[in-house]
């Protein structure tokens, strides 16, 4: 237990921190969320100095005393969301020098004072979103020089975020209480001009009471790296046309209630950021006077309510890259492209001054369609052919391209080994030059016997079965002729030569069904009958080894019978 590093006691209805926690000196991650803990004692974490993550979200903690955090000098993550906290100020003054993530959301925090988070120099992610937040001081966040992500609820009071030089992501929920004659968000313009910001999300969670909210036109001017911008229930009227003029890296733009968007003369070179925009109510979009050359029609297909579109005074390219857009302008019935018939081409030079809608885009679509047809057809045929080859010819191809190391594999019983070495090898290898594969000479040591047999049969052009009564009684010989028979019937080629060392009557073969069947359908070589003419016998073996015609499934002569 003393070496435990991870401990999870969530959903256990604990009312306080267990005393045994103090004995876990090596503990690094402690998860105690969703219990009913209401009090944290000064001695609860006194011996857990290695703790890096502490999850206490979903409890009933109303206060965190300063002494509770004194021992947590290595803590990097503290989650106290969903508790009953009213303030957190005293807890940040000591012990939490290495804290990087702090979540205080969904508590009862009503106000934050100056320098409340000054004791957290390493903090990178802060969440203080609260339904009850009503008051923030100007220097509330002073000292958080490492902060990169911030989520919080702001009342309509002046808050300074310019002291956060590393901030990249900000999510702000605005709220107000009481009557305001001019409840503009203009007062925040200077406070959130942060050059490092990449993602900005602002939302008003309450009814506007008939008043107009908007962000001032210069509020995003310094945010050169801004990629994501979301305004929820903020813009009830259109933002200024130059609001996003300086945000050249913008990739996503979301307005939940805006029906008019003026982005004219904003030096836009691409509209890709509108593809993922959430603009369900947008009806009028003004993009006149920008630097748009090629336009992707899917940009406007992502705007379901778009009715009017103005793209006047843009330097269009009259090439196939704009074919889909030109076809969309001519064919769509929902969106009216204002004065589209007057748009002129700027590129290429040969078409400069000609009308955009006069460009003949049909050859572009035809070539593309034909190419897609040919490509898809080839893909279908290739898929079907591959499936056919795999299902019906995979074994043939496997062994067709298999490296054939031998002319023949000799299957024999060990009791007949003397005859093989004394009579067969001198003639077939010595005189005729065939390469033969023999058990004791050519099998690979250490490899399973059945694999050696398989490699020998399929690594040789043919298999010679030297059959005797001992051969018929051998289990391994039976497997060898069985596998050779499989290859014979599968490939339909003459790959099997039967050589009988003894005269074995047919009725003695009855217990060996496969052998009897082979003997009935094929002629075979008999050594006893060749005693007087051994030369002719070996010539017949030579002809059988040289034979390449497909095997017939009825009787035919591969050699003279003896």
What is the per-residue pLDDT across 209-249, written as a single tens digit (0 to 9) for each? 545 555 665 667 778 888 888 877 765 556 666 777 778 78
Whether 203 has a pLDDT exceeding 50, the answer reads: yes
- Higher-pLDDT residue of 444, 212: 444
Q: Assign 416 to helix, strand or coil.
A: helix
pLDDT the model gives residue 403? 55
Whether 528 has a pLDDT exceeding 80, the answer reads: yes
Beta strand pairing call for 101-103 and 53-55: unpaired
Say which CATH topology domain 403-546 has.
Rossmann fold (3.40.50)
Q: What is the mean pLDDT of the chain?
A: 81
Q: How far is it, in rounded angstroms, from Cα 371 to Cα 369?
A: 5
Instruction: Specify the range with the lowest mean pLDDT, choosing from 239-243, 355-359, 385-389.
Output: 239-243
Domains in the chain: boundaries: 403-546
**pLDDT tens for each residue of 74-110:** 999 999 999 999 988 767 667 899 999 999 999 999 8
- Using an 8 Å Cβ cutoff, are 494 and 549 in contact? yes
- What's the pLDDT band for 367 if we cut at 50, 70, 90? low
Whether 186 has a pLDDT exceeding 60, the answer reads: no
**pLDDT tens for each residue of 298-349:** 888 888 999 999 999 999 999 999 999 999 999 998 999 999 999 999 999 9
pLDDT (mean) for 523-541: 81
pLDDT (mean) for 543-558: 49
pLDDT (mean) for 118-124: 90
pLDDT the model gives residue 39? 94
Sheet of 6-8, strand order: 6-8, 29-31, 53-55, 77-79, 101-103, 125-128, 149-155, 169-175, 199-204, 228-232, 252-255
- What's the pLDDT band for 555 if we cut at 50, 70, 90? very low
Whether 514 has a pLDDT exceeding 70, the answer reads: no
pLDDT the model gives residue 521? 55
Q: What is the DSSP string of 305-367?
A: T--EEE--S--EE-SGGGHHHHHHHHH-SS-EETTGGG-BEEESGGGTTSBGGGS--HHHHHH
> How many residues can be counted in the chain?
562
Q: How far is it, in rounded angstroms, from Cα 279 to Cα 65?
A: 46
**pLDDT tens for each residue of 478-497:** 888 888 888 877 777 778 88
Q: Which of 528, 428, 425, 411 is nearest to 470 (CA)?
A: 411
- Using an 8 Å Cβ cutoff, are 529 and 502 in contact? no
pLDDT the model gives residue 2? 65
* Structure tokens that stand for 438 in this block: 């023999």
- pLDDT > 70: what percent of the chain? 80
- Using an 8 Å Cβ cutoff, are 230 and 254 in contact? yes
pLDDT the model gives residue 562? 31
3-state secondary structure 271-313: CHHHCCCECCCCCEEECCCCCCCCCCCHHHHCCCCCCEEECCC
Whether 205 has a pLDDT exceeding 70, the answer reads: no
pLDDT (mean) for 367-391: 76
Helices (H) and strands (E) in the chain, counts: 12, 24
Whether 473 has a pLDDT exceeding 90, the answer reads: no
pLDDT (mean) for 144-167: 79
pLDDT the model gives residue 551? 35
pLDDT (mean) for 427-451: 89
Whether 544 has a pLDDT exceeding 60, the answer reads: yes
- Higher-pLDDT residue of 296, 160: 296
pLDDT the model gives residue 185? 43
pLDDT the model gives residue 507? 67
pLDDT the model gives residue 5? 93
Q: Tell me the backbone φ, ψ of residue 522, rounded to 5 degrees.
A: -130, 145
**Element of type H or E holding 449:** helix 449-458
Q: How far is it, in rounded angstroms, from Cα 488 to Cα 469?
A: 23
Q: How far is it, in rounded angstroms, from Cα 420 to Cα 409?
A: 12
- What's the pLDDT band for 352 if we cut at 50, 70, 90? very high
- Higher-pLDDT residue of 515, 135: 135
Residue 285, C-beta contacts closer than 8 angstroms, at least 6 positions apart: 261, 263, 303, 306, 308, 309, 310
pLDDT (mean) for 107-114: 89
- Using an 8 Å Cβ cutoff, are 294 and 322 in contact? yes
Q: How far is it, in rounded angstroms, from Cα 458 to Cα 412?
A: 17
Whether 125 has a pLDDT exceeding 90, the answer reads: yes
Whether 154 has a pLDDT exceeding 80, the answer reads: no
Work out the number of other CB atoms within 10 angstroms of the CB of residue 60: 13
pLDDT (mean) for 105-132: 90
């Amino acid at each position: 237990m003393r070496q435990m590093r991870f401990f999870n006691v969530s959903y256990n209805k604990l009312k306080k921190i267990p005393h045994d926690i103090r004995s876990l000196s090596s503990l690094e991650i402690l998860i105690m969320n969703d219990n009913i803990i209401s009090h944290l004692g000064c001695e609860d974490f006194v011996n857990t100095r290695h703790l890096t993550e502490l999850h206490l979200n979903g409890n009933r903690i109303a206060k965190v005393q300063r002494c509770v955090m004194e021992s947590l000098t290595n803590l990097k993550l503290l989650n106290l969301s969903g508790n009953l906290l009213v303030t957190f100020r005293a807890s940040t003054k000591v012990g939490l020098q290495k804290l990087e993530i702090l979540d205080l959301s969904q508590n009862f925090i009503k106000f934050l004072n100056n320098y409340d988070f000054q004791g957290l120099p390493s903090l990178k992610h802060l969440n203080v979103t609260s339904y009850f937040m009503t008051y923030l001081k100007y220097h509330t966040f002073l000292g958080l020089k490492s902060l990169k992500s911030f989520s919080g609820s702001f009342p309509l009071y002046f808050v300074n975020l310019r002291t956060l030089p590393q901030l990249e992501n900000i999510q702000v929920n605005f709220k107000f209480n009481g009557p305001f004659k001019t409840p503009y968000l203009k007062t925040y313009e200077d406070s959130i001009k942060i050059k490092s910001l990449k993602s900005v999300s602002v939302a008003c969670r309450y009814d506007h009471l008939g008043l107009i909210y908007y962000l001032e036109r210069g509020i995003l001017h310094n945010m050169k790296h801004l990629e994501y911008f979301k305004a929820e229930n903020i813009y009830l009227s259109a933002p200024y046309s130059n609001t996003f003029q300086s945000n050249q890296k913008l990739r996503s733009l979301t307005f939940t209630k805006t029906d008019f968007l003026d982005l004219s003369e904003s030096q836009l070179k691409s509209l890709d950021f509108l593809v993922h925009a959430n603009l369900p109510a947008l009806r009028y979009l003004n993009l006149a006077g920008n630097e748009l050359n090629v336009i992707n029609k899917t940009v406007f297909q992502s705007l379901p309510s778009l009715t009017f579109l103005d793209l006047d005074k843009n330097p269009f390219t009259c090439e196939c890259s704009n074919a889909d857009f030109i076809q969309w302008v001519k064919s769509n019935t929902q969106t009216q492209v204002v004065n589209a018939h007057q748009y002129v081409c700027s590129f290429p030079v040969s078409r400069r001054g000609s009308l955009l809608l006069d460009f003949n885009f049909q050859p572009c679509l035809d070539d593309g369609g034909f190419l897609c047809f040919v490509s898809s057809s080839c893909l279908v045929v290739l898929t079907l052919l591959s499936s056919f080859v795999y299902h019906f010819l995979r074994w043939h191809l496997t062994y067709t391209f298999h490296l054939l190391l031998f002319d023949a594999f000799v299957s024999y019983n060990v009791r007949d080994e003397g005859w093989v070495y004394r009579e067969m090898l001198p003639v077939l290898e010595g005189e005729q030059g065939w390469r033969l594969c023999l058990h004791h000479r050519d099998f690979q040591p250490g490899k399973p016997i059945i694999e050696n047999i398989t490699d020998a049969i399929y690594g040789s052009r043919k298999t010679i079965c030297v059959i005797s009564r001992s051969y018929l009684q051998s289990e391994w010989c039976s497997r060898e002729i069985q596998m050779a028979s499989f290859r014979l019937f599968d490939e339909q080629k003459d790959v099997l030569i039967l050589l009988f060392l003894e005269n074995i009557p047919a009725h003695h073969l009855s217990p060996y069904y496969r052998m009897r069947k082979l003997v009935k359908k094929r002629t075979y070589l008999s050594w006893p009958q060749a005693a007087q003419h051994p030369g002719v016998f070996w010539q017949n073996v030579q002809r059988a080894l040289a034979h390449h015609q497909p095997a017939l499934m009825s009787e035919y002569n591969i050699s003279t019978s003896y």
